[in-house]
A and B are shown apart, each in its own frame.
Chain A
Amino acid sequence: MQPNQASSAGTQTELQSLLPSGERRARLRRWRSLKDQMSRYGIAFAGISVVLAFTTIFVYLFSEVGPIFSSASTEQQQTYQSPEQNAIFANLERYGEVGLVANKAGELQFFNAQTGEPGQKLQLALPEGASITSFSRGEPRSGIIAFGLSNGQVLVAKHEYNLSYPNDKRQIVPVVTYPLGETPLQLDAKQQAILSLAVQEGPSGTAITAFTADGRLSYNLFEAKTEFLTGETTLERSEYQLPDAPKTVLKMLVDTTLQNLFVADTQGNIHYYDIRDPASARYVEAISAVKAGQQLTALEFLVGSVSLIAGGSDGSLSQWFLVRDEHNNFHLKHIRDFEQHPAAIVQIEPEYSRKGFMAIDAKGYLGIHYGTSARTLMLEPLGEQLQPARIAISPINQSFLAFDKNGTVQHFALDNAHPEVSWKAMWNEVWYEGRAEKDYIWQASSGSDEFEAKMSLVPLASGTLKAAFFAMLFATPLALMGALYTAYFMAPALRGKVKPTIEVMEALPTVILGFLAGLWLAPFIESYLSAVFSILLLLPLMMIATAYLWRYAPEKLRFALGHGWEVVVLIPVIMLLIYLCVQVSPVIDHMFFAGNLRQWLTDNGITYDQRNALVVGIAMGFAVIPNIFSIAEDAIYNVPKHLTQGSLALGATPWQTMMNVVLPTASPGVFAAVMVGFGRAVGETMIVLMATGNSPIVNFNLFEGMRTLSANIAVELPETAVGSTHFRVLFLAALVLLVFTFIFNTVAELIRQRLRQRFSNL
């Protein structure tokens, strides 16, 4: 210690005082107290920062997950006079910089969407005396629009926004092209006015459906053919008259596959025509899409042109799409309803890259809805004195224009980042586009914009529970019985060896267990499936039989081994049995299962994957055994000795003591052990990743694979876009795992602490 060193230095010079001078002592004291303080604050800083770091995990995961449950919001940014008072069509470019309106006079007016300043203006080449009687817009992303004229002619235009970056600054140049020629096409030979029109670009060309003033419905397909030799492009036209035209037409829609035509009449019915083969087009059915007494006021496709959104005069909004029935025929089915608007729907504006849409009604309410999740993210009046007649959303859902009845345009910023999921959609069956019925599906991403993200957590959660269940089924009996024996019956010398061995098992990297399970165990089980079952069945019998026979073993041997060494006898027996079962397995297959159990299962309607729940159960069970064993063994071993001695002294057999005294006392600890094991099985990643096929399906078949929450994170997280809904849902999966295991472990820990206290009181 420092004072002593100082004093020994002092003795060399003077002998009067053994202590250093008072001043020096005070200095030393101050220095020591300073060091004491520094150490205190340093340690406190480190300790608290570690606690904070752990808290950050929770806080951060919650903060990443939070936004998926928040609703949408809008913010009004600019207001200006509309460049066009009687717009029949409006459009907004991706970055919210350029807008487009079209009017009845055939003028296309581009304008600056921030200021309202008019830009390029185009006049369509309308023939003398003809006026525009109808308008149609194809899939919004394609930018294709068509105008129907009073003389039976049609003009198709396509608008695009060309992006370039001169001097690192964004420049947007709007362009209009005419895919079917700049002069109008004579669609109707009888020169009847076209009252309603549907245009769409499909794989086989451009389709135009027209409803004429005299009540005829015609379908026209224009195919651009390039001459092989000259390179000249000619337009080939085929015209078909469709049967059973409705009396009135509100709106017509053709999907992008050019296979289905939907016609809404003013009475509230949707008529469905099958036009897969236009020459023999078929009227399939008419379905009332609104309540009795109400009318349809708007009908629009969602992106991908599979789902229809129907808006009624009562403000109702519903989603419809074609569903295949058992005879392979398609019928239009009601899928879901959205929150009702207070007045008749005026316009439905679909989003460009998601299954969402906006709707405005006659009272000026704006609704932001989403198809898959059936969410209504917003339903509010757009502004106090606003009466929007038309809206246009930007393709990236970040802004929209509202054209007011009084001739102004409002530019709104839109924040609607994560409408795709809702708590309900994640845990309930959802009817996805193109599916025959509601289902739980996890299929979160695809390359296409039209793709409907299916993010049901049920397949993953059930896969997690399935894997954990089979693992626990395998591990719990082995670990608990093993713990019982090791703690209470095993010879102490042997226990000293066995316990560390099992604990070493805990340290075995799971990637190695997964690798063995996937590349060694899975093929092994596949070829020796009957051996696995015969081992499971025969092992316990064999153990009891050995116990019985052991009584007749030579006395010398029995005494040499004594009690507590049964394991040593059993190990060779078990190894022998496993060896025999594997050897006999082909014979069993041959005798009972037509030579191949795996094939036999498949023939009997049981799907068999090579990497299945059985493999996972064994491999993950193997990983969980040491966790359960170690905690349960501790709990049983620490039961006070005087309890067992008392029981034995009263004449109970060791087994009776075990079952009636030791086990009840230690049971909370045993329970805690199982909980900890389950917690580990739920979160295990590498084993399930490597030993299952990772297909997210809902079933509990022992011979099929699964995909767990953790494996799903490992597979998908590196490939998702940061901040996307998919990304956040994966974070949610992580959060679910964290909270779940945290609760399980906490309860287990509390039980153990309680137990420890009880033991110390006994």
Chain B
Amino acid sequence: MKAWFRTGTPWIWLNAGAIALSLVMVLGVLGLITVQGASHFWPADLQQVKLTKADGSTQMILAELVRTEEVSATVLKDSGIKLETQAEFYQRHLLKMGNRDLYGRDFSWFLQPQLSDWSQPENAIVIERREWGNFYGFPLRLLQEGQVVAEGDKLLTELQQRIARANEIYQQIALIEKGDIGRINKKLEALRLTERKLQLAQADAATLQAHKAEALTEKAALDAEYAALQQQLEQLYAATKRDVLLVQSAEGKELEISLGNIVHAHFPNAMSTTDKLQHYVAAIWNFLSDEPREANTEGGIFPAIFGTVTMVILMSIIVTPFGVLAAIYLREYAKDGPLLRVIRISVYNLAGVPSIVYGVFGLGFFVYIMGGSIDALFYPESLPSPTFGTPGLFWASLTLALLTLPVVIVSTEEGLSRIPSTIRMGSLALGATKSETLWKVVVPLATPAMMTGLILAIARAAGEVAPLMLVGVVKLAPTLPVDGNFPFVHLDQKIMHLGFHVYDVGFQSPNVEASRPLLYATALVLVILIMVLNLAAIQLRNRLREKYRSESD
């Protein structure tokens, strides 16, 4: 034994254990996010159970079983639960009961002994609503303006058709509210701003009067248009209220749900595996393409994905030329010496500076100083409400560009340094100028390195949240930063961001339990995005290394 220890083998194993543990943790984290994030969309069966309360009365519950855990009796006693049996450990179940409008909260823990008679009734329905979260219960009748149109077997098909109709109307409403009315509001605001601009420029009374008259007619036209739209909206809203579904909750309470309030309905217990799979795919698609509802705790994350992507694209447009050119300058043009060494080390180190520092700089310098000056120069008419003097898309992109600049520079420089000097000399010997050698020989060869740098920069930018909290993300942006109104890309707008969405919903939301599955799903989307980018960068780098290793030999 002693001799065995002296060989060092156990220590080698201990070291192996360290790396094994690290691997277990990495895979564990990835696995946890994947399992939790991907499983949410699977339509879980609805369980009907009988709950026996402390006073002996019973109540029927229809709920999804979220998870089950073992707890010791002491823990339960400490949290003030009276126990009747004398077991040391209890199983307890977390049930999602939905029906927030009836019960006040949609999640509850129950002890195993309290629950009995588990069953999965075929006609149990899950209704995803626009307000109050999910409804779990049993459908009774479908009513159109108070008249029964379907019940029993015919209910299912009729219901789905009518939900589809209501959703279609809803889309029209959204189109009008976001599109047309948004456009009218923008025009009205533009009119106001032009007038203010003329006032500020101290235009003479005649011009001002002329503009006022013009603005008045224009405003009247817009108002008329608005009134017409408003009327159309009212009609549409009335149309969504045409159909009503009469449902019954598990304990027997009857409830009317307007079809206008229903996003989606399904009967999980009656679904076959193929049906469920179909539902699963559709649910994932909805999650990715829908807007959030209910203070971000339900619905989709499309604006967050869109915001993240827009910001990252804008950042790439800024960071690529500067990063690449700076690297070329440092490697090819700058005079070698102690100063260059200092600059190079500094640039490399900036990659390790905490991201929040960039956020602070972005807020102070970009937003307040640069943005404030831009406002004073170009948008004096809308002051005191700031245009660029407030956090927004452009400043977020610029801050992240600064943050990722070192990444691009380091990567590009590495690529440039790997190009054998023989290639360079060959080009110069053939009479090419330095810039010709650079742009036609060296840079094309180093493109993969630049790409690697850019991809790493994008991956870092996509996952960075701390600086963005200061320079431009919000929990809920009413409109996307890109739309059909001039100038199409709204650089001054605030955006939603996947990473910030995770932070905000997880730590600022009132109903964490309800939003937890969505959080995991959002995290999964972000992780997949970043993993794909990183793996691509690693692949590219490896291929590049192989390529030059063979060429330089």
Residues of chain A at the chain B interface (Cβ within 8 Å): 1, 32-33, 35-36, 38-40, 42-44, 46-51, 53-54, 56-57, 60-61, 64, 477-482, 484-486, 489-490, 498, 500-505, 507-516, 518-520, 527, 539-540, 543-544, 546-548, 550-551, 566-567, 570-571, 574-575, 578, 586, 589-590, 594-596, 599, 622, 625, 629, 653-656, 658-659, 676, 679-680, 682-686, 689-690, 710, 713-714, 717-718, 722, 730-731, 734, 737-738, 741-742, 744-746, 749-750
Q: Are B74 and A722 in contact (CB under 8 A)?
A: no
Q: Which of B7-54 contact A (CB under 8 A)?
A: 7-27, 29, 32-33
Instruction: Tell me whether A509 and B364 are in contact in the complex, defined as CB-CB below 8 angstroms, given that A51-B343, A498-B19, A544-B10 are known contacts.
Output: no
Q: Are B16 and A685 in contact (CB under 8 A)?
A: no
Choose among B4, B17, B439, B527 the residue that contacts A508 (Cβ–Cβ < 8 A).
B527
Instruction: Tell me whether A683 and B353 are in contact in the complex, defined as CB-CB below 8 angstroms, given that A39-B435, A511-B503 are known contacts.
Output: yes
Q: Which of B324-381 contact A (CB under 8 A)?
A: 325-326, 328-330, 332-334, 343, 345-350, 352-361, 363-365, 368
Residues of B within 8 A of A49 (CB): 322
The segment out of B157-165, B299-307, B478-486, B531-539 that lies at the interface is B531-539
Residues of B within 8 A of A509 (CB): 462-465, 499, 526-527, 530
Choose among B72, B352, B363 the residue that contacts A589 (Cβ–Cβ < 8 A).
B72
A302 to chain B, nearest CB (A): 31
Q: Are B469 and A544 in contact (CB under 8 A)?
A: no
Q: Are A710 and B354 in contact (CB under 8 A)?
A: yes
Q: Are B354 and A683 in contact (CB under 8 A)?
A: yes
A761 to chain B, nearest CB (A): 19
Residues of B within 8 A of A60 (CB): 361, 364-365
Residues of A within 8 A of B348 (CB): 745, 749
Q: Are B19 and A481 in contact (CB under 8 A)?
A: yes
The 7 closest A-B pairs by CB, nearest first: A655-B8, A683-B354, A595-B74, A47-B329, A509-B463, A46-B325, A547-B13
Residues of chain B at the chain A interface (Cβ within 8 Å): 4, 7-27, 29, 32-33, 70-75, 78, 88-89, 321-323, 325-326, 328-330, 332-334, 343, 345-350, 352-361, 363-365, 368, 402, 405, 409, 430, 432-436, 438-439, 459-460, 462-466, 469-470, 499-500, 502-503, 506-507, 512, 516, 519, 523, 526-527, 530-531, 534-535, 538
Q: Are B33 and A512 in contact (CB under 8 A)?
A: yes
Q: Are B16 and A507 in contact (CB under 8 A)?
A: no
Q: Are A504 and B13 in contact (CB under 8 A)?
A: no
Complexed CA–CA distance, A567 and B355 (Å)? 35
B32 to chain A, nearest CB (A): 7
A631 to chain B, nearest CB (A): 11
Instruction: Tell me whether A519 and B531 are in contact in the complex, defined as CB-CB below 8 angstroms, given that A482-B22, A509-B465, A655-B8 are known contacts.
Output: no
Complexed CA–CA distance, A504 and B463 (Å)? 13
Q: Are A734 and B357 in contact (CB under 8 A)?
A: yes
Q: Are B22 and A685 in contact (CB under 8 A)?
A: no
Instruction: Tell me whether A655 and B73 are in contact in the complex, defined as CB-CB below 8 angstroms, given that A47-B333, A683-B355 are known contacts.
Output: no
The residue in chain A whose Cβ has the minimal distance to the Cβ of B427 is: A1
Residues of B within 8 A of A486 (CB): 19
Choose among A32, A511, A570 the residue that contacts B13 (Cβ–Cβ < 8 A).
A570
A67 to chain B, nearest CB (A): 13
A112 to chain B, nearest CB (A): 29
Residues of A within 8 A of B531 (CB): 504, 507
Choose among B405, B432, B538 the residue that contacts A50 (Cβ–Cβ < 8 A).
B405
Instruction: Tell me whether A515 and B18 are in contact in the complex, defined as CB-CB below 8 angstroms, given that A35-B435, A50-B409, A596-B74 are known contacts.
Output: no
Complexed CA–CA distance, A47 and B332 (Å)? 11
Residues of A within 8 A of B323 (CB): 50
Q: Are B326 and A544 in contact (CB under 8 A)?
A: no
A726 to chain B, nearest CB (A): 13
Instruction: Tell me whether A575 and B463 are in contact in the complex, defined as CB-CB below 8 angstroms, given that A504-B531, A655-B11 are known contacts.
Output: no
Q: Are B365 and A56 in contact (CB under 8 A)?
A: yes
Complexed CA–CA distance, A637 and B345 (Å)? 23
The residue in chain B whose Cβ has the minimal distance to the Cβ of A477 is: B18
Complexed CA–CA distance, A514 and B534 (Å)? 20
Q: Are B436 and A503 in contact (CB under 8 A)?
A: no
The residue in chain A whose Cβ has the minimal distance to the Cβ of B344 is: A749
Query: Residue among B20, B75, B464, B500 with the most chain A CB within 10 A?
Result: B20
Q: Main SS of chain B's interface residues?
A: helix
The residue in chain A whose Cβ has the minimal distance to the Cβ of B6 is: A653
Q: Are A482 and B19 in contact (CB under 8 A)?
A: yes
Q: Are B526 and A51 in contact (CB under 8 A)?
A: no
Q: Are B507 and A518 in contact (CB under 8 A)?
A: yes
Residues of B within 8 A of A686 (CB): 465-466, 499, 503
Residues of B within 8 A of A54 (CB): 346-347, 350, 405
Residues of A within 8 A of B19 (CB): 481-482, 485-486, 490, 498, 502, 567
Residues of A within 8 A of B512 (CB): 519
Complexed CA–CA distance, A489 and B17 (Å)? 12
The residue in chain A whose Cβ has the minimal distance to the Cβ of B507 is: A690
Q: Are A508 and B503 in contact (CB under 8 A)?
A: no
- Supply 13 further A-B pairs (C-beta < 8 A) apart from A502-B23, A750-B345: A36-B435, A38-B435, A50-B322, A51-B326, A498-B23, A510-B466, A527-B71, A543-B14, A547-B9, A686-B466, A722-B368, A742-B350, A742-B353
Q: Are B18 and A44 in contact (CB under 8 A)?
A: no
B412 to chain A, nearest CB (A): 12
Complexed CA–CA distance, A510 and B527 (Å)? 11
Q: Are B71 and A685 in contact (CB under 8 A)?
A: no
Complexed CA–CA distance, A658 and B11 (Å)? 11
B383 to chain A, nearest CB (A): 14
Complexed CA–CA distance, A42 and B434 (Å)? 13
The residue in chain A whose Cβ has the minimal distance to the Cβ of B368 is: A722
CB pairs A–B below 8 angstroms (12 shown): A49-B322, A57-B365, A482-B22, A505-B26, A508-B530, A509-B499, A546-B13, A595-B73, A713-B359, A714-B466, A734-B357, A737-B357
Q: Are B363 and A571 in contact (CB under 8 A)?
A: no
Complexed CA–CA distance, A505 and B30 (Å)? 9
Q: Are B17 and A570 in contact (CB under 8 A)?
A: yes
Residues of B within 8 A of A36 (CB): 433-436
Q: Are B29 and A574 in contact (CB under 8 A)?
A: no
Instruction: Tell me whether A512 and B17 are in contact in the complex, defined as CB-CB below 8 angstroms, given that A54-B346, A489-B12, A714-B469 are known contacts.
Output: no
Complexed CA–CA distance, A567 and B363 (Å)? 47
Q: Are B519 and A42 in contact (CB under 8 A)?
A: no
The residue in chain B whose Cβ has the minimal distance to the Cβ of A543 is: B17
B278 to chain A, nearest CB (A): 30
Residues of B within 8 A of A53 (CB): 402, 405
Q: Are A478 and B22 in contact (CB under 8 A)?
A: yes
Q: Are A46 and B329 in contact (CB under 8 A)?
A: yes
A641 to chain B, nearest CB (A): 17
Q: Are B4 and A46 in contact (CB under 8 A)?
A: no
Instruction: Tell me whether A714 and B356 are in contact in the complex, defined as CB-CB below 8 angstroms, given that A482-B15, A622-B25 are known contacts.
Output: yes
Residues of B within 8 A of A507 (CB): 459-460, 463, 530-531, 534
Q: Are B328 and A516 in contact (CB under 8 A)?
A: no
The residue in chain B whose Cβ has the minimal distance to the Cβ of A37 is: B435
Residues of B within 8 A of A516 (CB): 29, 32-33, 523
Residues of B within 8 A of A527 (CB): 71, 75
Residues of B within 8 A of A61 (CB): 357, 360-361, 364
Query: Residue among B8, B439, B530 with the most chain A CB within 10 A?
Result: B8
B16 to chain A, nearest CB (A): 4
Query: Residue among B11, B16, B323, B435 with the most chain A CB within 10 A?
Result: B16
Complexed CA–CA distance, A666 and B303 (Å)? 49
Q: Are B516 and A519 in contact (CB under 8 A)?
A: yes
Residues of B within 8 A of A714 (CB): 356, 359, 466, 469-470
Q: Are A547 and B22 in contact (CB under 8 A)?
A: no
The residue in chain A whose Cβ has the minimal distance to the Cβ of B4 is: A548
B129 to chain A, nearest CB (A): 25
Q: Are A730 and B325 in contact (CB under 8 A)?
A: no
Residues of A within 8 A of B538 (CB): 500, 503-504
Instruction: Tell me whether A44 and B329 are in contact in the complex, defined as CB-CB below 8 angstroms, given that A512-B523, A540-B14, A570-B17 are known contacts.
Output: yes
A603 to chain B, nearest CB (A): 10
Q: Are A685 and B466 in contact (CB under 8 A)?
A: yes
